[in-house]
């Protein structure tokens, strides 16, 4: 089975798009379509079906995903083992700004543990921007947020969206909520605003930003409240509990994704080892630590 065909196939599966797969593999969309026709001819099965405007995998297509990942993992591991030690090598890593304080340091520590001669260049941007950079071949590996149940990349961990404020901050009854939240491409943005509108809770949108430090500073110093993942919370912040009657926020999955044309050392086997080791060193107390809740006024 042709390795290039399988690599393109998994790029389609991971991105959910022929167009994005074409960008990641540096091919035209028509060339990607021809590759998938060849792959379907090789396996003598239809791998895709159209559902309205969306493209979905057939049952045979879903079965092939597992085998394709195993084949590519063995292939890439074999190729990596045959290369002479080239000394220090540089990896371009992408990570959302809101995970730069919590996830990124541990991720780098584990990568250095697995590959002591690795050198990293880190770019912080939103998950959507990181996908774009990956499509353009600007980064080799990315930590990003994906929709629950998605096949994109390799699952690192799950996280929960919460409403949060500075510790000790009390919401007054009938108070117009001062919001500082992420930009519209963040899942928490639409969930927060749509939920407040449905509850008819008055709010003022003080600021939106893709910069976690700016948002958290506005929360801690400016009295704003925010909608973030629990892993973003700092020690001087607290979750706003159920008594505040705020709308629920979604769970998210945090995944590690390899570029369509990966650095030779960034193999599926490496990413699986990275995730396994990351989870091992993740301090259980920190992972499950209960974040203090603020209490309603009066």
Q: Are residues 72 and 94 in the same domain?
A: no
If one counts the domains in the chain, the total is 2
How do the pLDDT tens digits run along the chain, 298 residues long? 888 899 899 888 888 888 888 887 778 888 889 999 999 999 999 999 887 777 789 999 999 998 998 898 888 777 776 665 556 788 999 999 889 888 999 999 999 988 888 999 999 988 989 998 988 889 999 999 988 877 788 899 999 999 999 998 888 888 899 999 999 988 899 999 999 999 999 999 999 998 888 998 999 887 899 999 998 888 889 999 888 889 999 999 999 999 877 788 888 888 888 999 898 877 544 544 444 444 444 3
**pLDDT score recorded for residue 286:** 53
pTM: 0.69
Q: Are residues 269 and 151 in the same domain?
A: yes
Q: Are residues 38 and 61 in the same domain?
A: yes
**pLDDT score recorded for residue 294:** 47
**pLDDT score recorded for residue 87:** 62
Residue 44, domain CATH: 1.10.10.10
Q: Are residues 90 and 71 in the same domain?
A: no
| Residue after which a domain boundary falls, among 48, 65, 82 | 82
3-state SS, the chain, equals: CCHHHHHHHHHHHHHCCHHHHHHHCCCCHHHHHHHHHHHHHHHCCCCEEEECCEEEECHHHHHHHHHHHHHHHHHHHHHHHHCCCCCCEEEEEEECHHHCCCCHHHHHHHHHHHCCCEEEEEEECCHHHHHHHHHCCCCCEEEEEECCCCCCCEEEEEEEEEEEEECCCCCCCCCCEEEEEECCCCHHHHHHHHHHHHHCCCEEEEEEECCHHHHHHHHHHHCCEEEEEHHHCCCCEEEECHHHCCCCCCEEEEEEEECCCCCCCCCHHHHHHHHHHHHHHCCHHHHHCCCCEECCCC
**pLDDT score recorded for residue 42:** 92
Q: Are residues 91 and 67 in the same domain?
A: no
| Residue after which a domain boundary falls, among 82, 109, 143 | 82
Quickly tell me which residue has 């390795």 as its tokens: 3
**pLDDT score recorded for residue 82:** 67
Q: Are residues 36 and 99 in the same domain?
A: no
Residue 238, domain CATH: 3.40.190.290
Q: Are residues 68 and 139 in the same domain?
A: no
Q: Are residues 1 and 102 in the same domain?
A: no
Cα separation, 161 vs 291, in Å, equals 13
| Residue after which a domain boundary falls, among 82, 99, 134 | 82
Give whole-number Cα distances, 4 to 68, 75, 259, in Å.
11, 11, 14
Expressed as residue numbers, the domain containing 233 is 86-298
Q: Are residues 1 and 24 in the same domain?
A: yes
**pLDDT score recorded for residue 288:** 45
Q: Are residues 150 and 280 in the same domain?
A: yes
**pLDDT score recorded for residue 83:** 62
Q: Are residues 118 and 21 in the same domain?
A: no
Q: Are residues 29 and 160 in the same domain?
A: no
């Amino acid at each position: 089975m042709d390795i290039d065909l399988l690599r393109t196939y998994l790029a389609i599966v991971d991105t959910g798009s022929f167009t994005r797969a074409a960008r990641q593999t540096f091919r035209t969309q028509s060339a990607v379509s021809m590759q998938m026709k060849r792959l379907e001819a090789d396996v003598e099965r239809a791998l895709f079906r159209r559902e309205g405007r969306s493209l979905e995998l057939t049952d045979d297509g879903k079965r092939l995903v597992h085998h394709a990942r195993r084949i590519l993992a063995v292939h890439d591991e074999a190729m990596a083992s045959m290369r002479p030690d080239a000394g220090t090598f540089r990896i371009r890593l992408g990570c959302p700004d809101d995970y730069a304080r919590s996830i990124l340091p541990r991720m780098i520590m584990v990568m250095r543990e697995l590959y002591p001669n690795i050198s990293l260049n880190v770019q912080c941007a939103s998950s959507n921007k990181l996908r774009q950079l990956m499509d353009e071949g600007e980064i080799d590996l990315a930590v990003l947020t994906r929709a629950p149940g998605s096949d994109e990349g390799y699952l690192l961990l799950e996280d929960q969206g919460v409403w949060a404020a500075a510790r000790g901050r009390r919401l007054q009854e009938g108070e117009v909520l001062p919001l500082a939240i992420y930009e519209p491409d963040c899942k928490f943005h639409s969930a927060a605003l749509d939920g407040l509108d449905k509850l008819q809770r008055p709010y003022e949108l003080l600021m939106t930003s893709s910069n976690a430090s700016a948002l958290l500073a506005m929360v801690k110093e400016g009295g704003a409240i925010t909608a973030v993942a629990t892993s973003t919370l700092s020690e001087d912040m607290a979750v706003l509990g159920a008594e505040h009657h705020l709308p629920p926020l979604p769970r998210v999955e945090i995944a590690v994704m390899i570029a369509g044309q990966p650095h030779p050392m960034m193999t599926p086997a490496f990413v699986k080892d990275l995730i396994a080791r990351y989870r091992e060193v993740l301090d259980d107390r920190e992972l499950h630590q209960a974040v203090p809740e603020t209490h309603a006024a009066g």
